[in-house]
Amino acid sequence: MDHVDDALIERVREVVASIPAGRVLAYGDVAELAGAPSPRLVGRILAVDGHDVPWHRVLRSDGTVAAHLATDQLARLRAEGVLADGQRIDMRRYRWTDPFPEPGDDQPALW
């Protein structure tokens, strides 16, 4: 991938690989945890190099999936117990929050 360092690609892949079944993160969450400059870059990385990580657990911040991936992504999430209302996942219910450090730790907390 042009102009993206291999270490960043690996950090994004590690964050996505760590999302447990039945939980999701937004692209922005992954960007923050991996130190990526933007959620769009996370999407680009997953599009090119995300076939062997649970890419389907990464959504837009409003809980929607990309139209061209919707059928496959929603089916994979449903198989893990993540249910959609139409094509939207309830981020308050399914967002993965447990592993994030408490404020004051040496890493920033998302919530």
Q: What pLDDT digit, counting tens, does each position of 10-57 carry?
A: 999 999 999 999 999 999 999 999 999 999 999 999 999 999 999 999
Q: What CATH number should be reported for the domain holding residue 80?
A: 1.10.10.10
Residue 89 lies in a domain: yes
Range of the structural domain that residue 37 is part of: 6-93
If one counts the domains in the chain, the total is 1
95/57 Cα distance (integer angstroms): 9
CA distance 76 to 4: 28
47, 13 in Cβ contact below 8 A?
Answer: no
Tell whether 107 is covered by a domain: no
Give the confidence band of 111 by pLDDT, cuts at 50, 70, 90. very low
DSSP string covering 26-75:
EHHHHHHHHT-S-HHHHHHHHHHH-TTTTGGGEE-TTSB--GGGHHHHHH
The answer as to whether 74 is a domain residue is yes
- 1 in a domain, yes or no? no
Domain assignment of residue 75, yes or no: yes
